[in-house]
Amino acid sequence: MIYAILIFMENGTLLADALFEKLQMDNVLIAGFATAMNQFSLKIFPGDDALEDIVFAKHHILFQKFKVQEKEIIVLNIHDKQEDHVFLKKINQEIFWEIKQKYSHAFLNSMVELNQFKGINDRIQAILNKEHRKEVLLK
Protein backbone atom coordinates (compact mmCIF):
# COMPACT_ATOMS: atom_id res chain seq x y z
CA MET A 1 0.00 0.00 0.00
CA ILE A 2 1.14 3.51 -0.79
CA TYR A 3 0.43 5.86 2.11
CA ALA A 4 1.58 9.14 0.61
CA ILE A 5 3.35 10.66 -2.37
CA LEU A 6 5.13 13.97 -1.86
CA ILE A 7 6.74 16.04 -4.58
CA PHE A 8 9.23 18.70 -3.60
CA MET A 9 12.09 20.79 -4.91
CA GLU A 10 15.64 19.88 -4.04
CA ASN A 11 15.68 22.89 -1.68
CA GLY A 12 12.80 21.37 0.31
CA THR A 13 9.90 23.39 -1.11
CA LEU A 14 6.85 21.12 -1.06
CA LEU A 15 5.04 21.26 -4.42
CA ALA A 16 2.35 18.63 -3.88
CA ASP A 17 1.29 15.99 -1.39
CA ALA A 18 -1.11 13.17 -2.17
CA LEU A 19 -2.25 11.33 0.96
CA PHE A 20 -3.96 7.95 0.80
CA GLU A 21 -3.98 7.14 4.52
CA LYS A 22 -4.40 9.35 7.54
CA LEU A 23 -0.87 9.78 8.84
CA GLN A 24 0.27 11.89 11.74
CA MET A 25 2.83 13.87 9.79
CA ASP A 26 3.69 17.39 8.78
CA ASN A 27 4.30 17.22 5.04
CA VAL A 28 6.54 20.29 5.03
CA LEU A 29 8.60 18.74 7.83
CA ILE A 30 8.85 15.46 5.87
CA ALA A 31 10.03 17.34 2.75
CA GLY A 32 12.64 19.19 4.85
CA PHE A 33 13.78 15.95 6.49
CA ALA A 34 14.04 14.21 3.11
CA THR A 35 16.02 17.13 1.68
CA ALA A 36 18.40 17.10 4.65
CA MET A 37 18.86 13.31 4.43
CA ASN A 38 19.52 13.56 0.71
CA GLN A 39 22.14 16.29 1.20
CA PHE A 40 23.67 14.31 4.08
CA SER A 41 24.01 11.20 1.90
CA LEU A 42 25.66 13.22 -0.88
CA LYS A 43 28.22 14.59 1.61
CA ILE A 44 29.04 11.14 3.04
CA PHE A 45 29.10 9.35 -0.31
CA PRO A 46 30.28 11.93 -2.86
CA GLY A 47 29.95 10.74 -6.41
CA ASP A 48 27.33 8.17 -5.48
CA ASP A 49 23.74 8.57 -6.47
CA ALA A 50 21.51 10.32 -3.98
CA LEU A 51 19.62 8.60 -1.22
CA GLU A 52 17.07 6.18 -2.66
CA ASP A 53 15.40 4.38 0.23
CA ILE A 54 14.90 4.67 3.97
CA VAL A 55 13.75 1.46 5.61
CA PHE A 56 11.74 1.31 8.82
CA ALA A 57 10.37 -1.87 10.41
CA LYS A 58 7.07 -1.80 8.49
CA HIS A 59 7.44 1.14 6.11
CA HIS A 60 9.79 2.37 3.42
CA ILE A 61 10.38 5.79 1.95
CA LEU A 62 11.45 5.70 -1.69
CA PHE A 63 13.12 8.78 -3.23
CA GLN A 64 13.54 9.51 -6.91
CA LYS A 65 15.09 12.61 -8.43
CA PHE A 66 14.00 14.07 -11.74
CA LYS A 67 14.81 17.22 -13.72
CA VAL A 68 12.16 19.56 -15.06
CA GLN A 69 13.34 22.68 -16.91
CA GLU A 70 16.81 22.27 -15.33
CA LYS A 71 15.33 22.21 -11.82
CA GLU A 72 15.51 19.06 -9.73
CA ILE A 73 12.43 17.65 -8.07
CA ILE A 74 12.14 14.68 -5.76
CA VAL A 75 9.20 12.30 -5.76
CA LEU A 76 8.94 10.67 -2.33
CA ASN A 77 6.77 7.61 -1.94
CA ILE A 78 5.87 6.38 1.58
CA HIS A 79 4.70 2.78 1.39
CA ASP A 80 4.62 -0.52 3.24
CA LYS A 81 7.56 -2.85 2.86
CA GLN A 82 5.74 -5.40 0.69
CA GLU A 83 5.55 -3.01 -2.27
CA ASP A 84 7.74 -3.76 -5.28
CA HIS A 85 10.21 -0.91 -5.80
CA VAL A 86 10.40 -1.52 -9.54
CA PHE A 87 6.64 -0.96 -9.78
CA LEU A 88 6.76 2.08 -7.48
CA LYS A 89 9.54 3.58 -9.58
CA LYS A 90 7.31 3.12 -12.62
CA ILE A 91 4.52 5.03 -10.86
CA ASN A 92 6.96 7.79 -9.86
CA GLN A 93 8.19 7.96 -13.47
CA GLU A 94 4.62 8.37 -14.68
CA ILE A 95 4.08 11.17 -12.15
CA PHE A 96 7.26 12.83 -13.42
CA TRP A 97 6.07 12.60 -17.05
CA GLU A 98 2.74 14.12 -16.03
CA ILE A 99 4.54 17.01 -14.30
CA LYS A 100 6.85 17.48 -17.27
CA GLN A 101 3.97 17.52 -19.76
CA LYS A 102 1.39 19.54 -17.86
CA TYR A 103 3.31 21.60 -15.30
CA SER A 104 6.76 22.30 -16.80
CA HIS A 105 5.79 25.96 -17.33
CA ALA A 106 5.82 26.34 -13.54
CA PHE A 107 9.58 25.73 -13.51
CA LEU A 108 10.50 28.43 -16.03
CA ASN A 109 10.69 31.25 -13.47
CA SER A 110 13.34 31.46 -10.79
CA MET A 111 10.60 31.20 -8.14
CA VAL A 112 8.22 28.28 -8.51
CA GLU A 113 4.66 29.30 -7.63
CA LEU A 114 2.76 26.56 -5.81
CA ASN A 115 -0.63 27.65 -7.17
CA GLN A 116 0.50 26.44 -10.61
CA PHE A 117 0.23 22.82 -9.46
CA LYS A 118 -3.55 22.79 -9.04
CA GLY A 119 -4.98 19.46 -10.17
CA ILE A 120 -1.78 17.46 -9.68
CA ASN A 121 -3.41 15.22 -7.06
CA ASP A 122 -6.18 14.32 -9.49
CA ARG A 123 -3.50 13.40 -12.04
CA ILE A 124 -1.73 11.22 -9.44
CA GLN A 125 -5.02 9.47 -8.64
CA ALA A 126 -5.60 8.89 -12.37
CA ILE A 127 -2.14 7.28 -12.67
CA LEU A 128 -2.88 4.97 -9.73
CA ASN A 129 -6.29 4.09 -11.20
CA LYS A 130 -4.67 3.30 -14.56
CA GLU A 131 -2.29 0.94 -12.75
CA HIS A 132 -5.29 -0.72 -11.01
CA ARG A 133 -4.17 0.41 -7.56
CA LYS A 134 -6.60 0.43 -4.62
CA GLU A 135 -5.35 3.67 -3.03
CA VAL A 136 -7.88 6.48 -2.89
CA LEU A 137 -6.83 10.07 -2.37
CA LEU A 138 -7.98 11.60 0.91
CA LYS A 139 -9.76 14.91 0.39
Q: What is the mean pLDDT of the chain?
A: 88
pLDDT band at 48 (very low <50, low <70, confident <90, very high): low
The ranges assigned to domains in the chain are: 2-130
Of the candidates 101, 23, 100, the residue with the CA atom closest to the CA atom of residue 56: 23
Domain 2-130 adopts which CATH fold? Beta-Lactamase (3.30.450)
Q: Is the pLDDT of residue 21 over 90?
A: no
Q: Where are the beta strands (DSSP E) in the chain?
A: 2-9, 14-19, 53-55, 59-68, 71-80
Angle at 41 between CA 35 and CA 43, to 5 degrees: 105
User: What's the whole-model pTM score?
Assistant: 0.88
Supply φ then ψ for residue 15, to 5 degrees. -95, -40
Does residue 14 or residue 139 have the better pLDDT? 14
pLDDT band at 49 (very low <50, low <70, confident <90, very high): low
Rg of the chain (C-alpha set): 14
Q: For the chain, what percent of residues have pLDDT higher than 70? A: 97
Q: Is the pLDDT of residue 58 over 80?
A: yes
pLDDT tens track for 72-127: 899 999 999 999 999 999 999 999 999 999 999 999 988 888 889 999 999 999 99
